[in-house]
Structures are given as structure tokens and as C-alpha cells.
Amino acid sequence: MIHTEFNIKHARKETKACNSIMHFNNAGASLMPIPVSNVLHEYLYKEEELGGYETAGKEKEALDNFYSAAAKLLNCEQEEIAYAENATRAWDMAFYSFKFKKGDRILTTIAEYGSNVIAYNQQAKRYGLEIVFVPNDEYGQIDVNALENLIDERVKLISITHIPTGGGLVNPAAQVGEIAKATNIPYLLDSCQGVGQIPLDVEEIGCDILCGTGRKYLRGPRGTGLLYVRQEMIEKLEPPFLDQHAATLISPSKYEIRSDAKRFENWEQYFAGKAALGKAINYALSWDIKITRDRIYALATELRTKLADIDGISITDEGVEKCGIVTFRASQMTSPKIKEALATQGINVSVSNGSGTLVSFQQRGLNELVRASLHYYNTREEIDAFVTILQKILRNTI
């Protein structure tokens, strides 16, 4: 079923917890819709009743659906898709496949995800490569002109976070892709917060590799992720770990790595999660991600506007394009205390403490922020209630 216009009643009817909580923590983990939850639970019940191997055999169509659904989501071939237990592991399997040498350079963003920066530094210590944080432009997003000026023969990878974890910024991924393509430099895009929130077309973006998670805007289960690797790039990358799913043992001293993106997978997988993630992708596509993106953006804009009218509140989002993640701080109370107080009122938010975007936070003099991240099943009524309750918390009247 394809929804030609957004039906909020239907969306909330298929999201059980909408009746009991206000969930503004979708950049952490969204609420699973009933059809996705049903697939997950039913698969686990079958494993209980039939056995794990036997269930996998009977559910082959549901498991294979993950690849076709993900390929449709990203506009690529099924052979370019791999399943992973999370977005970080998907990213790691691709990144650690690159063979660097001393003097090589990686170009990345100021707002880069902390785990990625750790990986860059680990490889820098191992191989003597240089990590270059491309400056931001006046809007706080990656400066594509500065990026282009940094290109030289030493640059072996452009690796950026599409939507940072600690702010509403959407980096101009397609503009980066144009530069990467023109200079023939591999381009790795971490779109953990983008998958499911915004339309993603790897041909339009121009990335060679993209990773995403199931638990955030795709509304899938935790412990699930996906990896896209362009076919031409697959052949150039040997994963850091191989098993008899990723490769075939030919003799006691010889193996052959498979030719598709499944070379980045493990043999043992969270099969129930894989089936549910495929369903979650189908579910997201049934709503039309362009329509749901517009709704998410509109809700976030409304929240930012109303927060700006509250004394003591500072909104910290950057970028020309701002997504469904809204970050702010209050002069009256620490962000962890605000989160705790909101939780007592049935409102879920999270706190960004800087570890996820340390380089950006340090440059901007930020410490802890409240992160309120919206999805299409949230409503304007919830935003009004959120703002009212937040004001009472800051006045110590709750």
C-alpha cells in the first residue's frame, strides 16, 4: 500500500506507544510500528517452536526481502547491499578495508561522529596517515569549497557524517559527491541519522559507500544495520574480517572472497532483526519518504520556533538544511536534569554530551545539550504540550 497523502491517525494507530508517551527520541531509537514488531515477534516465536536453522530455511523470502527493500530504498543493486548488526559495524567493515600508507590523508567533517574519529585516529597511528577536518562554512555545514581546495594526490578517502548526532544539520552530501567523483576519490557516507528520515539515492549523492541503522528513522529493531558498497568499489576492498560466508575455502591454503557486498557480512546474523528490518524499509517506503521528510522537517521547525520564545533557551542547530533533530540548552537547568524532569511527565528526549560530535562541540564551546528528535507520528499538539511542560519545569512549577 502506498500512501499518497499523510494520514496521521493511521500512523499513530499503528504505533502503540503513542497512546501513553510523547516520544521525542527518534534519533536514538524510534517506536516500531505494529507491522514491523509483528514480523520480529513472529520470527522469534518460530525460532522457539521450530529451531533457528529451520526457521531461517522457512523464512528465506522474508530474509531475502531485506536486500531488495534496501536496494529500492537507496536506488542500487541488491548485490551492493550487506546486512550488519549495526551501522557502526557496517561502517567499520568498509572503512577498515582501505589499505592506507604513511602520508595518506582522510578528509572529514568538523561534526564527524565520535566513533568514526576514533577509527581515523587508530589508523593514523598504525599507518601514519593524516586526518584533515574540513572547515565549516558560515552556516555550520561542511565548506565544499574548502573541501575542493584540500584535494591533492595524498587524499585517499573522503569520509563524512551526513546528519550529525548532536544537531539538526544536514551536510550537503551530493555536493561532496560531485567533488569526490570529479577527483576520483572514494567517498564514504555515514547516513545513520539520514536513512528513513530523508530520501537517499546513492546515484544522486555520488557516494561509493553508505551505512545506516535500523533503529532510528527506519523504525526497525535495535541490533540491525545496512551497508551499501558500489560494485566497482567492492572489488577493490578486502574486509578486515572474513568467514565462510564472506569467502569460500578452496584448499588448506587458499580462499576466494565473494564478489558481492555480502563479503562484508558475517555468517551468523540476527535473523529475526533482518526480517523485521526488511519489513521496516518496506513500511517506510509505503509512506513515501519525501512526504514524511517534509512532515518531520515542518514539525522540527515549529518546535524550534516555539523553543526560541522561551526565556533562557538557546537553540544550537546548524546548517542550511535542518532535519528533525532539535538541540537546545537552558540557562536555568542542566540538560540531564531537563531530560529527567521530562521523563517524569511521559516525554522521551536524550542528551548529547559531546562525545558523539566532540570536535564540533569543543570548537563551539558546547558541553551538554537536550536533543528532541521528531518523527512523522509526532503531532503539533505534542509539540505544544512539550513546550508548556518544559516551561513549567524551568520555572520549577512541576
- What confidence tens digit (pLDDT) does each residue in 179-217 have? 999 999 999 999 999 999 999 999 999 999 999 999 999
Average pLDDT over residues 121-132: 97
- What confidence tens digit (pLDDT) does each residue in 24-34 have? 999 999 999 99
What is the per-residue DSSP string for 57-85? Answer: HHTHHHHHHHHHHHHHHHTS-GGGEEEES
Stretch(es) of the chain classified as CATH 3.40.640.10: 36-286
Query: Could you tell me what percent of the chain has a pLDDT over 70?
Result: 99
Alpha-carbon span 79 to 82, nearest angstrom: 8
pLDDT at 2 over 70: no
Query: What is the chain's mean pLDDT, rounded?
Result: 97
Confirm if 195 and 216 have CB atoms less than 8 A apart: yes
The CATH fold of domain 8-24+288-393: Aspartate Aminotransferase, domain 1 (3.90.1150)
Q: Quote the cell numbers at residue 57.
A: 530455511
Decide the pairing of beta strands 225-229 and 209-213: antiparallel
Query: Could you tell me what percent of the chain has a pLDDT over 90?
Result: 97
Stretch(es) of the chain classified as CATH 3.90.1150.10: 8-24+288-393
What is the C-alpha radius of gyration for the chain, rounded to an integer number of angstroms?
A: 21
Strand partners, 134: 109
Q: Quote the cell numbers at residue 46.
A: 518460530
Handedness of CA 9, 10, 12, 17 (dihedral sign): positive
3 falls in which pLDDT band (50, 70, 90)? very low
Alpha-carbon span 215 to 99, nearest angstrom: 31
The pLDDT value recorded for residue 4 is 53
- What confidence tens digit (pLDDT) does each residue in 278-314 have? 999 999 999 999 999 999 999 999 999 999 999 999 9
354 falls in which pLDDT band (50, 70, 90)? confident
pLDDT at 1 over 50: no
**Is residue 44 classed exposed, middle or buried when 0-12, 13-18 and 19+ CB atoms within 10 A define those classes?**
middle
The CATH fold of domain 36-286: Aspartate Aminotransferase; domain 2 (3.40.640)
pTM beyond 0.85: yes
